[in-house]
Amino acid sequence: MRIMGLDFGSKTVGVAISDPLLITAQGIEIIRRKEENKLRRTLARIEALAAEYEVDRIVLGFPKNMNDTIGERAELSLEFKEKLERRTGLPVVLWDERLTTVAADRAMIEAGIRRKNRKDYVDKIAACLILQGYLDSLCREAVD
């Protein structure tokens, strides 16, 4: 069993996969699209990756506003969640992703990745942070 983490953006989707023991998240890909509303190929790629990695659940970053309200990006994520569930047949869990992009940027700065190269990695790292947060919560639940 593995879990897939997704960072859904306007033109990209960062993808991460858990290890089989559900301990760590690894970034595997950034899916790019030319237009925000063109999701058919994106959904097909996610479906293919889910089959390849034998995923049984998807964790989708949910970009709530800092004041805990749901804005336009979060509404788009809710629509994407429904499309993912229909396309893959897998349950999709929404996970609060506030500040994951900021954390991903900080990690890249600390790693010495040049500013012009950061955009090539930020979505994949954000997907890892989303998934790792979810995996850590599963571990805490198991301990309690």
Which pLDDT score is estimated for 111?
A: 76
For the chain, give the percent of residues with pLDDT over 70: 93
The CATH number covering residue 70 comes to: 3.30.420.140
| Res. 143: pLDDT tops 70 | no
**Each residue of 29-52: pLDDT tens digit?**
999 998 877 899 999 999 999 999
Beta bridge partners of 5: 16, 59
99 vs 5, more confident = 5
Residue 112's pLDDT band, with cuts at 50, 70 and 90, is confident
Domain that holds residue 90: 2-143
What is the tally of structural domains in the chain?
Answer: 1
